[in-house]
Amino acid sequence: MSRRALTMAGGCLAAAWPLIVLFLHEDVGNWPLLAIGIALLAWRLPGSLRVVFPLAVVLLGLGLVGRAEWGVRAYPVAVNAGMLMLFAASLMHGPPIVERLARLRTPTLPPHAIRYTRRVTQAWCLFFMINGGIAAGTVFAGDLAWWSLYNGAISYLLMAAMFAGEWVIRRYRIGKSV
């Protein structure tokens, strides 16, 4: 299997995590799912072990001190935390992630576009904080179906709305070049 196919398969597995947990937790059990979640997190999150290791420890710790199901359910929280760390680190150590992405299309950005991409990166940080907070609240909710609905559908719809809203604003404020 090619590297690209493996990356796509990992992305699909990560995106489908809430549904996988919903449908397999009774048959497979939470401990195997927790181990798979930690491995998937380590494989999928960008960055070094300095980012991934603490998140994996948190998942395992939740499983050990509480119930394994808490660790399994905390996977979306860890992903949001990892993305928040990645975006926030890019703000501190520049250039911001959204600026990097914009420069793929337009290598030379005007100053107003650079300021805009910084603000969008900040907005994504806020999104990951709020989404991760809500995901954390669902970890301890009794109903696995509600956890799956939020983390497997609602959060993706919110992310799509954020992408679409930013695209419209960018077209209006900066133009089609960025």
Mean confidence (pLDDT) of the chain:
82
Q: What is the pLDDT of residue 138?
A: 92
* CA 11/CA 5 separation, integer angstroms: 10
Question: 178 lies in a domain?
Answer: no
Question: 148 lies in a domain?
Answer: yes
Question: 49 lies in a domain?
Answer: yes
For 33-55, write each residue's pLDDT tens digit: 777 777 777 666 555 555 656 76
pTM for the full predicted model = 0.78
Which domain covers residue 35, as residue numbers?
3-173
Neighbours of 170 (CB within 10 A): 19
Q: What is the pLDDT of residue 88?
A: 93
User: Is residue 91 within 8 Å of residue 128, measured between CB atoms?
Assistant: no
Neighbours of 130 (CB within 10 A): 12
Question: 9 lies in a domain?
Answer: yes
Question: 31 lies in a domain?
Answer: yes
Burial of 147 (0-12, 13-18, 19+ CB in 10 A): buried
Identify the band that residue 130 occupies on the pLDDT scale cut at 50, 70 and 90.
Answer: very high
How many structural domains is the chain composed of?
1
Question: 56 lies in a domain?
Answer: yes
Question: 93 lies in a domain?
Answer: yes
Residue 86 has pLDDT above 60, yes or no: yes
For 100-120, write each residue's pLDDT tens digit: 988 988 889 889 889 999 999
Question: 164 lies in a domain?
Answer: yes
Identify the band that residue 72 occupies on the pLDDT scale cut at 50, 70 and 90.
Answer: confident
